[in-house]
Structure 1
């Protein structure tokens, strides 16, 4: 037995030498030694983390966690014990148990606290129920939007087809009838387009952006190719050739310019020989924090300027961009455009002058934002 252990037990070297180990144990540990500890040593030749309590001269106990190895030679068998005192561990465990017991007693004895706990649980259950209802209503609303859009498209297509058939096959139609048929085709086409945009607008809430590297010029060209305005002699588009690139969802960015072009065409100024749309872009550095005051983090953005020579103020563009959206055929496309830009953590603003056209300023992050969308 080393000096540190002898000191804790209050024994001298001569008082320890030649004595049996179990003589230094408390009564409970003696029983454990005889029934468990020693048989394990005999069977396994080693024991790990066995708990024994030694008794000192003054009666104080020393709890120890022992590891034992049996070493055999040709002439003798030696049992080597290595231990660690764990009196502090016992004290900490007792303190933790006491603290837990006090907390449990306090909770059980405090009727107000128990009542508040029950009320909180009931409130959480109510919130869970309301959340499920809202989720179900949202899913049902999404399905209703799809149903309305899809079911209404078919009669509109048939109406357009029938009107075109009458125009091509009908004989002796008066000028007034022809004009009315063209109006029917125009109105139904606009309604069909509006329903499709409305459906896209609603779907955008759940849309997961697929970020890729985009070339602004190519995005504009794609938007023009998919637009009914392609090869329109009354439309002139001037777009940048500086190959500016940024990260974004190609599908949505194409739709953004489709909607802007569509809106420019619907609000073209008949006084002008052509609808002229001019698009330019530069790379800028600006603060990414818009809503938080006194917070600054500067990053690269692409600033896109889109302007046309349309009627300007007729649709109150600034109100549509900055204020709450009122859905109607004249601004659903702009509302959708605004949502696309904000989905990319960008900003869109508008300025219009009567009879001189509208100008949109769109700023988009060059790189994919670290925030999930």
Structure 2
């Protein structure tokens, strides 16, 4: 054993004369006994045999070439080898690179499958979007016919009725009364069509946020209703915190609420009483998302009346077609109210007891949407 090998193995010259097996690791010792030595005896030479020697700190991998020669004293084995620790590292790196490449290839296959599935979903989405666009265009055409084209014959009906009633002395009293009812029904229908038109236009309307004073909005709504009925008493606070909303739409909201109270007043109670109040409060901005919280300043508007009330699911109040044991009618007004509130990122809820009137609780964000982001 030359000095270089003794240096690498951390042994001195006293090792000379010992069996080579004493210098091998356990695994290489077994390989030496079962494969290496029998192979030398049969072939007299071997090339590139791998053995691990015990080093001072760790095992040392060595690649050996061996030649066996016959001498007078017996068989001599001449070994030449080189340390291949770097080669082992390179092989490990190559194996790792191979595993990485195989994993990447598998992931690419998965990505390709996902991409193809996504493309299929995009095609389906495109089909559904086209279908939705077509349905929306048809809906807009229907709204246009209902809200615009039907108003003209109603306007002419009201005009003709007023013309006939102008000379009421030539009309029998019973006929005149029926004409007034026809005109009243036509006016109600025309107002319903106008509300339907506003309901449809609200979809694409950009809101104009103004500082709102509740008393001014309620007063304007009362003036626009143009009701001279002295049996209607509406109370509201004269001074309230200012919040931001579309003033015109908020006016429509209270017009529809008051109009709904008038149409559902209780004849046995005489006067119709409506009470409107407002306070500031804190409310979670994420009303539809679970486990998400961001409390912002809201205003809470409470609207109550002493009308007939209802005994049915409160959600039906805000549907256009109110079909239940108590309701069986088409009502645009309250559906319009709900759309106005939701357009402002607010909520509206109804609660009532039959014979005890109805109450609406409305929440509006106090600030502009840009201030909430």
Superposition TM-score tier, normalisation by shorter sequence = 0.5 to 0.7
What secondary structure is seen at the aligned counterpart in 2 of 1:313? Answer: coil
Q: CA deviation at 1:235?
A: 2.1
For residue 289 of structure 1, give the secondary structure of its aligned residue in structure 2. Answer: coil
Structure 1, 324-333 or 275-284: larger mean CA deviation: 324-333
Name structure 1 gaps, 5 residues minimum: 1-97
1:260 match: 257
Partner of 2:154: 156
Inter-partner Cα distance in structure 2 for 1:205 and 1:349? 21
Task: Give 1:134 shift.
Answer: 2.0
Q: Distance in 2 between matches of 1:341 and 1:326?
A: 19
Q: Find the residue that maps to 1:359 and give its secondary structure.
A: strand
1:144, distance to aligned residue in structure 2 (A): 2.6
- Aligned Cα RMSD in Å? 3.5
Aligned partner of residue 299 in structure 1, secondary structure: strand
Candidates 323, 326, 331, aligned match of 2:321: 326
Deviation sequence 1:215-234 (CA, Å, 0-9, x none): 111111121222232x4323
Q: Could you tell me whether the CA contact under 8 Å between 1:234 and 1:273 is conserved in 2?
A: yes
| Alignment pair present for 1:311 and 2:308 | yes
The correspondence of residues 15-26 of structure 1 with structure 2, limited to 5 A, is none
My pick for the range that moved more, 243-252 or 120-129, is: 120-129
For 1:246, the equivalent position in structure 2 comes to 243
The unaligned stretches of length 5 or more in structure 2 are 1-96, 323-327
Question: For residues 31-61 of structure 1, what are the alpha-carbon distances to aligned partners after superposition, in whole Å with 9 as ceiling and x for unaligned?
Answer: xxxxxxxxxxxxxxxxxxxxxxxxxxxxxxx
Q: Return the offset for 1:122.
A: 5.3
Q: Does 1:270 align with 2:272?
A: no
The aligned residue for residue 222 of structure 2 is: 224
Q: Which residue of 2 aligns with 1:165?
A: 163
The separation in 2 between residues aligned to 1:355 and 1:137, in whole angstroms, is 41
Are the structure 2 counterparts of residues 208 and 358 from structure 1 closer, same or farther at C-alpha, using a change threshold of 3 Å?
A: same
2:260 aligned counterpart, secondary structure: helix
The alignment of Structure 1 onto Structure 2 pairs a total of residues equal to: 272
TM-score, normalised by the number of residues in structure 2 = 0.63
Structure 1 stretches of 4+ moved >6 Å: 112-116
- Highest CA radius of gyration, 1 or 2? 2
C-alpha spacing 1:311/1:367, structure 2 compared with 1 (3 Å): same
How many angstroms apart in 2 are the aligned matches of 1:371 and 1:246?
12
1:194–1:329 contact (8 Å) kept in structure 2: no
CA distance in 2, matches of 1:169, 1:139: 46
Q: 1:289 aligns with which of 286, 289, 292?
A: 286
SS in 2 for 1:226: helix
> Once the 2 structures are TM-superposed, how far is the Cα of residue 337 of structure 1 from its aligned partner?
0.6
Contact 2:305 2:357 in 1 (8 A): yes
Partner of 1:41: none
Q: Under a length normalisation based on structure 1, what TM-score does the superposition of the two structures give? A: 0.63
Aligned partners of 2:336, 2:347: CA distance in 1, in Å?
A: 13
Pairing of 1:130-149 with structure 2 (within 5 A): 130-149=128-147
Q: Alpha-carbon deviations, 1:207-264, whole Å to 9, x = none?
A: 22211211111111121222232x4323221111123211111111111001001101
Answer yes or no: is the 8 Å Cα contact 1:320–1:335 preserved in 2: no
Q: Which residue of 1 aligns with 2:204?
A: 206
Distance 1:119 1:281, change over 3 A: closer
User: Which range is displaced more, 143-152 or 132-141?
Assistant: 132-141
Q: Please give the alpha-carbon distance, in whole angstroms, between the structure 2 residues aligned to 1:275 and 1:335.
A: 23
